[in-house]
Amino acid sequence: MLDGKKTLFSGMQATGNLTLGNYLGALKNWVTISDEYQTFFSVVDMHSITVRQDPAELRRRARTLLTLYIAAGLDPEKNCIYYQSHVSGHAELAWILNCFTYMGELNRMTQFKDKAAKHADNINAGLFTYPVLMAADILLYQADVVPVGIDQMQHLELTRDIAIRFNNLYGEVFTVPEAYIGKAGAKIMSLQDPAKKMSKSDENPNGSIYLMDDPDTIIRKFKRAVTDSEACVRYCEEQPGIRNLIDIYCACTGKTPQETEKEFEGKGYGDFKMAVGEAVLSVLKPLQERFADLSKNKDYLDRVIKENAQKAQYFSNKTLRKVQKKVGFPDRIR
C-alpha cells in the first residue's frame, strides 16, 4: 500500500515489434485500471538480453516502448514508467530470490522450453532463471496486482510461490500478488494460425498486426486472415480463426461476442473481416499519432526517464533493504 492505494506492477520486453496482442492483452488494460493504483510500468530491457540482441537496436526499441506506454495514455507524472536496467534493485533481488527457487520449478516453465527450442545455440543461464528476475520485478514494489496476458500466468504463479516460501521463512516480507486478466483480448492468436499466439517473434509477418503497421497493411492482413468454410460468424471452439477475430473486435469495441454474432448475422466473412480491420484502425491510429508527436519531444522524454528511474529506485530500495536484512546481510554503516 503506497499513498493509500494498492500497488500495480507490469512490464514488457523491448524485443521485436510490439503486436496487437501486447496492446489488447496488456497495455490497454494498464491504461484502464491505472488510476486505481500506485503504478510501476517497466521496460524490461534486462529480460531482453536472455536472447542475443543488437545493442543499438535494443536501445532504440527500449525507447520506442517507453514512448508507446505514454502514447497509449499512461501519464508519466502519475505512473512510474522506467527502464528496468536503470534500477539496480531488480538484479540484486533476483540474485537473492534465485537462492529460494528450485531448479525443478524452473524446469517446468513452458516459456523456457519454447525459447530453448527456438534458440538452441544459446540456452544460457539467464534464459533459465528469467522467471526469477520477473518475480523480483514484481515483489520489489510489493505489487498487489499484475495485469498480464494469459501466457504470463505460469510465471505469476511461480512469483506467488516464491513470495509465500520467503514469507514462511522470514515473516510477512512480500505482498503476494494477484494476476489481472482483462475480459477480452487476454490471448490474441496469430491471424495465419489461430492455434498459435500472436507473437513479436513470429517469422510470418502476416500472422501479427504490429502497432506501427500502416492502415493498408492492417486491412490487408485482416483480409488474409485464416478462417474456415462455415461462412457464419459464431463464437465457438470449432471456428478458432473467427473466434480470434471476434476476440479482437470485442477488445477494440467493448462489445460482447453475443452482440458481435448478432451484428454479423447473415453477413459474409469479407464484411466481418473489414469491420475488424476498421475497429483495430480506430484504436491504433490515435496511438500512432500520439507516438509520432511524443517522439519529437526528446527533452521531455529524457526528463521522464531520469525522474521516474529515481522514483523507482527509491521505492525498490525499501523492499531490498528489508530483504537483505532478513537474509542476514550485514548492516550498512552510515
The Cα 238–Cα 278 span in angstroms is 25
Q: Nearest distance from residue 208's CB to ligand TYM, in Å?
A: 8
| Distance (Å, whole) CA 310 – CA 292 | 26
Q: Is 285 a catalytic residue?
A: no
Q: Is 243 in the site for ligand TYM (CB under 6 A)?
A: no
Q: Which of residues 185-224 bind ligand TYM (CB under 6 A)?
A: 186-188, 197-198
For ligand TYM, the closer CB: 113 or 262? 113
Q: With contact defined as beta carbons under 8 Å apart, do 159 and 132 qualify?
A: no
Please identify the residue of the shown chain whose CB is closest to the bound ligand TYM: 25
Given the residues 187, 200, 223, 318, select the one marked as catalytic. Answer: 200
CA quadruple 62, 148, 20, 33: dihedral, nearest 10: -90
Contact 75, 113 (CB under 8 A): no
Q: Which stretch binds ligand TYM (CB under 6 A): 52-60, 131-139, 260-268, 307-315?
A: 131-139
Choose the stretch contacting ligand TYM; rule: CB under 6 A; options: 17-25, 102-110, 161-169, 232-240. Answer: 17-25
Closest CB to ligand TYM among 10 and 39? 10
**Alpha-carbon distance 170 to 162, whole Å?**
12
241: contact with ligand TYM by CB under 6 A: no
Among 7, 11, 249, 319, contact with ligand TYM (rule: CB under 6 A): 11
- Clarify whether 115 is annotated catalytic: yes
Number of residues that bind ligand TYM (CB under 6 A): 25
Q: Which cell is 138 given?
A: 514484481
SS3 39: strand
Instruction: Give the burial class of 36: count Cβ atoms within 10 A of its Cβ; 0-12 exposed, 13-18 middle, 19 or more buried.
Output: exposed
Which grid cell sits at 102? 528450485
Q: Does 134 bind ligand TYM (CB under 6 A)?
A: yes
Q: Which stretch binds ligand TYM (CB under 6 A): 112-120, 132-140, 210-218, 309-317?
A: 132-140
For ligand TYM, the closer of residues 47 and 61 by Cβ is 47
CA distance 201 to 59: 18
Rounded alpha-carbon distances, angstroms, from residue 77 to 200, 244, 310: 29, 36, 13
Q: Does 59 bind ligand TYM (CB under 6 A)?
A: no
Q: Which of positions 138-167 make contact with ligand TYM (CB under 6 A)?
A: 138, 146, 148-149, 151-152, 155
Query: Can you list the positions of beta strands (E) in the chain?
Result: 6-12, 37-43, 79-83, 145-147, 178-180
245 is a site residue for ligand TYM (CB under 6 A): no
The HSE-up count of residue 240 (CA atoms within 13 Å, CB side) is 11
Q: How far is the CB of 90 from ligand TYM (least distance, A)?
A: 9
Listed in order, strand segments (DSSP E) in 78-224 are 79-83, 145-147, 178-180
CB nearer to ligand TYM: give 188 or 219: 188
Our CB check for ligand TYM shows the closer of 22 and 308 to be 22
Q: How far apart are CA 323 and CA 201, in angstroms?
A: 36
**283 binding ligand TYM? (CB under 6 A):** no
26 or 312: whose CB is closer to ligand TYM? Answer: 26
Q: Which residues are catalytic?
A: 115, 197, 200
Q: Which residues bind ligand TYM (CB under 6 A)?
A: 9-13, 21-22, 25-26, 44, 47, 134, 137-138, 146, 148-149, 151-152, 155, 186-188, 197-198
